[in-house]
A and B are shown apart, each in its own frame.
Chain A
């Protein structure tokens, strides 16, 4: 690094436009476009007998109505199953518009296009769909035992079943190890459904250029490159004739990585068919019932351990509610089962999951992606062991930590990227020490006693996690320095608030030695960079950050080579400072990068004064080789890719102090402390922001948010009135400390930070409430009403006031 930009809390370059209303989100585009709306199933499980559109046709401003019957070719086939897996023996995906059967409330049945959204909704309201109602399957345990089937050809509603087993070093299986252990415990845990719930829903806009026979699509997506390929495949278009751009995206948190959503192929198809621009902007109600949820699992745990709390064997069986379809494969339960071990090395491990279909909205990753459930399981286990043995909860954790000298540490499992789960670096004992200091763990018993004397109940909780971040296969970066000295950086993955424009510019400016203001960054635009995977799994900084650094190094190398020739110096004696290539130690001898860019591209025609320096009679070239030497390309630009051998593992530990009201059972978080290790920090301000936001979503998942389905498969709280995302008044102040254990796997030594904040929160809050109340907490979220019920059910406790 040549400048101090890397690691500095540089202010975001996204902000000026976002603060003045000049951001461009999906619905801000194409004011004249036709608008789409959908008739969606009001039933969880039904057969479509008839669709009568006759009344809707009368709506003034109606342009088109489409049902499944209208869809041509590949568009009429089920949506792709994005991530096949051998264990997903019965993967099922939906049709873009329902064909015969609907399997959850909200499934799209009819697409309407009209002059505006009001009129489109008027037409939707007049379309009559005749349904034969079928018995719905709701609740993962019910579904696992039900004779009713979500998909007629999926026996037992089991989409996937996977067992992974890691024997102990002595060769014992987990069940044997548990049976042989001095102590054993068995318990069951429950985690309810939540959802990403970005404040901007999904949305798609498509424009067909009939003359050019090309399609431009904007989508509020986490992966524009892959949406592009899906559209080309589904609509039978040549890939170069399709471009997809992610505009400003109002949050994603996982739900926008799924693709192609039905609307992402239907809207472009309608635009081509109608020869008109068409736009669809998801409304909030649609987002609740037609996108995706996550989290719901039931876990059965058996654990065997010794007198110090060291785990000798752990056996976890997971029922994972996958909703009606599996477009994103079984990534979520795979992550739960492989990330469950956290910072611990245990004797033997067996994990088994069944992925179960229900007549509810499909389940795909939401920030944390299966890890909150995994950490809830492991950390509840740690607390139960501590309680059983009567020792401090942090001591049990410390007894099980992977030690700093044991990296790389192989957990013996296959991770979500299909590669071995090997921790690259970390320092868990130091994390714990920092956390205990930050929250005042050792002083807490005194605090608790004083509170009790005042009639107040407070408790402290802890949760630790390890997070595989920066999964492959790859990302790329392209860097171009133009003859005005500006640096243009592009990468294929998308942004939805993480500040990529800023951090990637920091990386490029630091690598190239140019002022930050000269760097501009474009993400998520296939016109600029066509090869990418997407923004998920805390991978953007690791993947694109390193790819951009590598691309910069290529460009820098070329710049030094060209400058060396111009300066008649050895490239090894050159450095780039402030946008100028200088001879080290000879400040008078320098050439601006702008000039190097001019020299990099031999020209015939001078379009401006700078360009004149590169034309054939300017005298800059040598006569003994062609103007563009063999192996060279014109221009000062470079492209490179970063493809890691495997994921890099960030880690962290959280602690909280909560107070529970003895009368009302209200739960208040008094303090929340985070120690986080994501390797080298590119921009600490942005990393802190990611942690704050993650913790807030975690608090939502711990105390407020759940999707409530009734027995008919109706989502009872499909609104912000009843799906309780926390406001400012519900989120604690987060105290943070950072540990920086660089990753040895990538050039920048960084690890992902995007999801971390949310991962352990449910475990931490459960631990703290349990400590305050002396009552087992084994399901989340927990409401005051739930706590009241637990108090009443607890032996030897009476509730005041009744």
Chain B
């Protein structure tokens, strides 16, 4: 067993996990954050997408132990602490961007990062941005609409929606050869 510490939605959490524990299972079953869903466990559907140090990743393709010490944001962390929905969440409700809701947390995390990096995406950029998330209910049309609407809300209310998307500056790529270069 490995003792790990994650900062999840701004809260420091500890868990004792076997090495093979998937981050998705750790979040859901060890930390009780069941908003992150598991749809395929082979990295294709995107339901389990969470923000790892601010970047969307598949939590079913990540071992919890690997991300020991890192920062994770799940769907539970997207709204403000007072419960106010983030612009992305509000836009999905306004535009009927969800039906059964199972894929929704993955979309919300993906879109939150997308709009942080690109506040006014074109249609094509939206499609590219959500292209790794499957939805079996909506036909995506209202999801695309939701993304544009969220961008609008964020432009109207620049103070809203900072929660849940900590921007992490990439580590300074240090020069230097790896290992012994004698050959």
Contacts and interface: CB of A to CB of B under 8 A. Distances in A.
A and B touching (Cβ–Cβ under 8 A): yes
Given A498-B99, A719-B44, A725 B85 contact: no
Contacts of A198: 100, 102, 136
A15 B95 CA distance: 11
Chain A residues touching B, majority SS: loop
B68 to A, nearest CB: 19
Given A727-B132, A727-B134, A284 B99 contact: no
A734 B139 CA distance: 9
A414 B76 CA distance: 51
B28 A28 contact: yes
Contact of B134 (A25, A725, A734): A725
Given A31-B29, A199-B134, A727-B132, A250 B102 contact: yes
Interface stretch (A78-86, A647-655, A684-692, A768-776): A684-692
A114 B51 CA distance: 31
Contacts, number: 169
**Most chain B CB neighbours (cut-off 10 Å) among A15, A24, A253:** A15
B98 A19 contact: yes
Secondary structure of the B contact surface, majority rule: loop
Interface in A245-276: 248-251, 253
Contacts of B29: 31, 116
A25 B105 CA distance: 13
B139 A15 contact: no
A27 B127 CA distance: 30
A696 B74 CA distance: 28
A692 B45 contact: no
A727 B85 contact: no
A20 B35 contact: yes
Contacts of B99: 251, 497-499, 689, 693
Interface stretch (B141-149, B151-159, B174-182): B141-149
A200 B37 contact: yes
Interface in A328-350: none
A695 B74 CA distance: 31
Contacts of B36: 21
Residue from A18, A24, A25 with most neighbouring chain B CB atoms (10 Å): A18
A497 B137 CA distance: 8
Given A11-B93, A20-B78, A23-B101, A727 B37 contact: no
Interface string A404-416: 0000000000000
Given A19-B92, A251-B102, A197 B136 contact: yes
A469 interface: no
Contacts of A31: 29, 32
Nearest to A18: B101
B138 to A, nearest CB: 5
Contacts of B133: 727-728
B13 interface: no
B144 A728 contact: yes
Nearest to B88: A19
A20 B130 contact: no
Contacts of B142: 689, 692
A199 B105 contact: no
Given A199-B102, A693-B138, 13 more contacts: A15-B93, A15-B98, A20-B89, A21-B35, A22-B35, A199-B39, A251-B102, A251-B136, A693-B99, A719-B44, A727-B131, A728-B135, A733-B141
9 contacts: A18-B104, A19-B104, A20-B76, A118-B18, A200-B37, A253-B136, A693-B99, A721-B42, A734-B139
Interface of B: 18, 20-21, 28-29, 32-42, 44-45, 47, 74-76, 78-79, 85, 89, 92-94, 96, 98-105, 108, 126-128, 130-144
